[in-house]
């Protein structure tokens, strides 16, 4: 019996297999998809401000180490929209990445008060550079109380200032501050200096307090000095103040 039909079928199958193999090999390779961060860098300036805000609000916790990631943060800190700047400052502050320090320093002078505030907060997360104090000190007279409060608090990060006392008397002159929350940070900063010259000015301010809250707040800060003059002042407030709630608050201070 002839076997040629069987051989013919086998050759046909082999031929089809070879043609399929050649066709697969000749198909052009598809390019790998572009990494999302590269696409964001490329498209950043065409995005609306809401999408640019979302980029930084949705950023994961890792530091931007790739060139494209660092470029994205640079774009964010150079953005023109305050909301984008704030979102980027919040993230770069948490990362504390010194590469962005100079951008944050520049934003301390931004016309938007909330951008300035978040720039101070961001800089607090960076390692201390004594040369930054000059830029921070300019903010103790800021028109926005949140910025002033953060600036006074930040001053206490600079150990050289505690020794040199460059800002000591400018801060004493700020005891005329009208915002109680800012005044609290002024007291804490003057106490931080550990300089006897500040005490008479701080005690005097307790007689000029504009509200009961301010009076109790300043006495509370002074109490950490454990001085007889402060104890006597608290006792006087507890005994003679016109408001019963303030008398009670002063009495509570004496018990602590």
φ/ψ (deg, to 5) at 191 = -65, -35
* C-beta separation of 93 from 124 below 8 A: yes
* C-beta separation of 112 from 143 below 8 A: no
* C-beta separation of 171 from 190 below 8 A: yes
Q: What is the pLDDT of residues 46-83, one digit of tens each?
A: 999 999 999 999 887 677 778 888 899 999 999 999 99
The tokens describing 238, both together, are 């507890």
Q: Does domain 38-127 have CATH number 1.10.405?
A: no
Query: What's the pLDDT score for residue 168?
Result: 98
Over 70: is that where the pLDDT of 157 sits? yes
Where is pLDDT greater, at 93 or 252? Answer: 252
Spatial separation of the C-alpha atoms in residues 199 and 221, rounded to whole Å: 12
* C-beta separation of 54 from 82 below 8 A: no
Buried b (16+ CB within 10 A) or exposed e, 127-165: eeeeebbebbbebbebeebbbbbbbbbbbebbeebeeee
Q: What is the pLDDT of residues 97-134, one digit of tens each?
A: 788 899 999 999 999 999 999 999 999 999 999 999 99
> Which residue from 179, 181, 182, 187 is spatially nearest to 203, judged by alpha carbons?
187
> Which residue from 45, 35, 87 is spatially nearest to 66, judged by alpha carbons?
35
Query: What's the pLDDT score for residue 21?
Result: 47
Domain ranges of the chain: 38-127
Q: What is the pLDDT of residues 190-242, one digit of tens each?
A: 999 999 999 999 999 999 998 999 999 999 999 999 999 999 999 999 999 99
pLDDT class for 167, splitting at 50, 70, 90?
A: very high
């Amino acid at each position: 019996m002839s076997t040629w039909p069987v051989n013919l079928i086998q050759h046909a199958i082999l031929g089809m297999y070879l043609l399929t193999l050649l066709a697969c090999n000749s198909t052009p390779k598809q390019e790998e998809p572009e990494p999302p961060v590269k696409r964001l860098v490329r498209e950043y300036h065409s995005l609306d401000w809401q999408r640019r805000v979302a980029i930084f609000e949705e950023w994961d916790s890792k530091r931007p180490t790739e060139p494209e990631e660092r470029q994205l943060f640079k774009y964010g800190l150079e953005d023109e929209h305050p909301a984008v700047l704030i979102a980027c400052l919040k993230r770069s502050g948490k990362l504390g990445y010194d590469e962005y320090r100079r951008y944050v320093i520049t934003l301390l002078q931004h016309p938007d008060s909330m951008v300035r505030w978040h720039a101070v907060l961001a800089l607090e997360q960076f390692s201390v550079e004594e040369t930054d104090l000059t830029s921070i000190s300019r903010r103790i007279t800021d028109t926005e109380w949140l910025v002033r409060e953060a600036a006074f608090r930040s001053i206490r990060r600079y150990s050289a200032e505690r020794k040199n006392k460059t800002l000591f008397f400018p801060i004493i002159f700020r005891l005329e501050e009208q915002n109680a929350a800012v005044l609290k940070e002024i007291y804490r900063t003057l106490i931080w200096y550990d300089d006897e010259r500040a005490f008479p000015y701080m005690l005097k301010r307790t007689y000029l307090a504009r509200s009961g809250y301010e009076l109790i707040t300043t006495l509370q800060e002074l109490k950490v000095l454990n001085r007889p003059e402060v104890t006597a002042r608290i006792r006087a407030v507890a005994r003679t103040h016109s408001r019963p709630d303030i008398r009670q608050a002063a009495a509570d201070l004496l018990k602590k």
